[in-house]
Structure 1
Amino acid sequence: MDKKEKPAKVMIIHPNLNSGGVETQIRYFVDNHNINRLRLVLVLFSRSEKHSGQTIDTERIRLFTLGHCRQPNFVKRIYLLFRILLSEKPDVVYTYLPNTNIVGLLLGRLCRVRSVVWGLRVSQFRYKRFGYKGEIVNLLAVFLSRKVDLLIANTWVGLNEYVSRGLAAKKSVVIPNGVDTEKFRPDKNIRNNIRYEYGIKPTELLIGVIARMVEWKGYEYFLEAARQLLSEPEYDVRFMCVGGGNNVLQEQYVRKTRHYSIANRFFWLGDRSDVA
């Protein structure tokens, strides 16, 4: 009689579960992984005001939070993460973002984790926008990437971008983002309800962007495209921006629409859970 195979234990380390693409992927992973084949441990650096533990099924995973967003004690959090790694003894450490990639690799190797996986989620990320700290993170990532067992990118463009910068893991693979076509599909009733809620006329064209409010999501290009489009008198267009994040940055964008004299054509919805 064959011995029953022991489920692999994967530890995901991430800053928080605020709105974002990676965060959505983590939630789907938690809700849909096969608990008979995989034991999942989720470690969050902080539990922000926007995150509720009710969104995570703690019966399916083990959840650890290293602190609160208003308690920036980085050294303490690293120590707590080290202790969790020693006690949980995961088979795999999986991280997504530059800073957590580096921390996950160093602590994972120190704790003798079998495999370390880095997720690469962007195609043209510019570290220079973060000053010397960004450059240091980039140099460390390039230097340490040779110790990574697997790089997972969501696009070939993104993977080639990282390889051209010098990242060279033992193995790399591209897994495109999945889309739930049962959830994300045209729905005439939802469309009509949204247009009614915001007073959008049937004759008006509505163009939207759904993205976190950060500099690298392309809102600058969206605003410039809107300005150019509205300069043509034959277009009757409204624009909808869905996504929270940097409130100061959003106010800068709002001021820019006023400068362009197109502010009355924009809706700023912030975080929404009904984008489908």
Structure 2
Amino acid sequence: MRIVFIITGLSTGGAEMMLFKILERLDRNSFAPHVISLTTLGELAPRIVALGIPVDAVELEPGLPSPAGFFRLVQLLKRLKPDVVHTWMYHADLLGGLAARLAGVSSVGWCIRNSNLDKEKTRISIRAIVGLCALLSKWVPSQILSCSEKARQIHVAHGYAAEKMVVVPNGFDLSRFKPDDHARRIVRVELELDVDTPLVGLIGRFDPQKNHAGFFEAAGLIHRQMPQVHFVLAGKGVDWNNPALKQAIDKAGVLSNTHLLGLRSDMPDLMAALDVLASSSSYGEAFPNVLGEAMACGVPCAVTDVGDSAYIVGDTGCVVASMDMADLAQALVGILQLPAAERLALGEAARTRVANHFEIGQITRQYEAFYADLASASSAGHGPH
């Protein structure tokens, strides 16, 4: 089956990495994938090409797309003659979905990766695209894959065709993300800390929805109870050149206990080094990948009840109300103060939960079933190639 994936861009965000993980594991005897980026190639393109998968970039400008660029996309799809087109994220759903239909593709799937459409938090341009997609959802896509139940509910409430929605969660590689005592040691050596220093992590790009300011509010409260705890943060924009972060750290009084590491390429080691992972997100998360990654490393999580976070963690960590940083601090302290054997057991339960519900091989099979359904649901398919 020829399948074309259309995505807004190929930088290293959560949606882009999830697409990469699916491409790595797709059954190539049954599926011939091809990737199109609406904008530029980005950091992930060479890694996709290295899998033997062709990648094209349509080079649309951010903002209002040009008719010429859209026409290039239609022509490219006509040339590729895919059996199925799967678009990822709003711009790709809208432009890629319409282009696929104009190119004569009858099996089109959309993909939703966001769970917040609040007026205050969402750019007006995004809300406009979501409104258009809601109208078009009745006829452009045959099915719509959502990475979270919360995202499904929110989009149905905004007018998306409920009967077309399918939920497939994100998946995690348990051979990459795993408990690792060596990683615990080497990360502490790098940070010049004692081998038994407790580490609380917050991993994610600097973005209002991640609520770094709230995290440091919680960090200040933890510091007063457990001054030996250190806070490790990594992600794009999470470094000492960020004045907003420095201000939050100073206000919390945790300057000497905080490590801002910026973008890291050794995420499995960093995750495995933590004693507990925090997610202080205030809105917008659909399915935070960092939770599955930490849990796969045997690291318990304390999270705000945003998106599917509570479902992901289940009974293997703590869930507090969104924006309640005092409760988040207490949840983190509660996990840190567990006897070592109990914290280890909680981490093992977290890894087992990922293995049972979110293992990447199982999730890839669910994606493959989604594509098979898309192809067979199409009444006027191209037939087998």
Fold in common (TM above 0.5):
yes
Partner of 1:175: 168
Q: Distance in 1 between matches of 2:243 and 2:135?
A: 38
Pairwise CA distance, 1:130: 4.1
Match of 1:122 in 2: 114
1:108 corresponds to: 100
Measured after TM superposition, the shift of residue 193 of structure 1 is 0.2
Q: Distance in 1 between matches of 2:174 and 2:95?
A: 35
Q: Is the 8 A contact 1:11 1:90 kept in 2?
A: yes
Higher relative contact order (CA 8 A, sep 6+): 2
> 1:38-187 counterparts in 2 under 5 A?
38-47=31-40, 51=43, 53-57=45-49, 60-67=52-59, 74-75=65-66, 76-126=68-118, 128-147=120-139, 148-168=141-161, 170-187=163-180
The one-character-per-residue Cα deviations of 1:155-210 (angstroms, maximum 9, x if unpaired) are: 22221122122211552211122121121111000111011101122343211122
Shift of the alpha carbon at 1:226?
A: 1.4
Runs of 4+ in 1 over 4 A off after TM superposition: 245-250
The question of whether the paired residues in 1 share the 8 Å contact of 2:200 and 2:230 is answered with: yes
Amino acid corresponding to residue 27 of structure 1 in structure 2: F
Q: Distance in 1 between the 2:30 and 2:225 partners? A: 59
Secondary structure of the corresponding residue to residue 167 of structure 1: coil
- C-alpha distance in 2 between matches for 1:263 and 1:88: 54
How far is 1:58 from its partner? 5.1
Aligned-partner SS, 2:124: helix
> 1:72: how far off?
7.8
Structure 1 residue 64 displacement after superposition: 0.4
| Residue 232 of structure 2, aligned match among 236, 240, 261 | 240
Q: Tell me if structure 2 keeps the 8 A contact 1:123–1:161.
A: yes
What letter is aligned with 1:195? R
Query: How has the CA–CA distance of structure 1 residues 132 and 249 changed in structure 2, closer, same or farther, with 3 Å as cutoff?
Result: farther
Shift of 1:128: 4.2
| TM value normalised by structure 1 | 0.85
Asked whether the 8 Å contact 1:153–1:174 carries over to 2, the reply is yes
Alignment partner of 1:192 is 2:201: no
Partner of 2:251: 259
Q: Distance in 1 between matches of 2:265 and 2:86?
A: 26
Picking from 15, 19, 27, the partner of 1:34 is 27
User: What is the CA–CA distance in structure 1 between the aligned matches of 2:221 and 2:117, rounded to whole Å?
Assistant: 26
Q: Distance in 2 between matches of 1:30 and 1:188?
A: 30
SS state at 1:23 partner = helix
User: RMSD over aligned Cα, in angstroms?
Assistant: 2.7
Q: 1:13 aligns with which of 2, 6, 10?
A: 6
Aligned-pair CA distance for 1:101: 1.2
Which string of whole-angstrom CA distances, capped at 9 and with x for unpartnered residues, describes residues 59-116 of structure 1? 63221022398x9883143232122112112122212211221112211211121111
**Aligned sequence identity (%):** 24
**Post-superposition offset of 1:213:** 2.6
Rounded Cα–Cα distance in structure 2 between residues aligned with 1:169 and 1:274: 39
* TM score, norm. by length of structure 2: 0.62
- State the 1:42 CA deviation: 0.4
Q: Quote the Cα distance in structure 2 between the aligned partners of 1:202 and 1:116.
A: 52
Does the C-alpha gap of structure 1 residues 63 and 130 become closer, same or farther in structure 2, counting only changes over 3 Å? same
Bigger proportion of residues as helix: 2
What is the letter of the counterpart of residue 141 of structure 1?
C
- Of stretches 242-251 and 58-67 in structure 1, the one that deviates more from structure 2 is 242-251
Q: Which moved more, 1:118-127 or 1:150-159?
A: 118-127
Q: Which amino acid in 2 is paired with 1:140?
A: L
The 1:67/1:246 distance shift into structure 2, 3 A limit, reads: farther
Which AA in structure 2 matches 1:118?
Answer: W
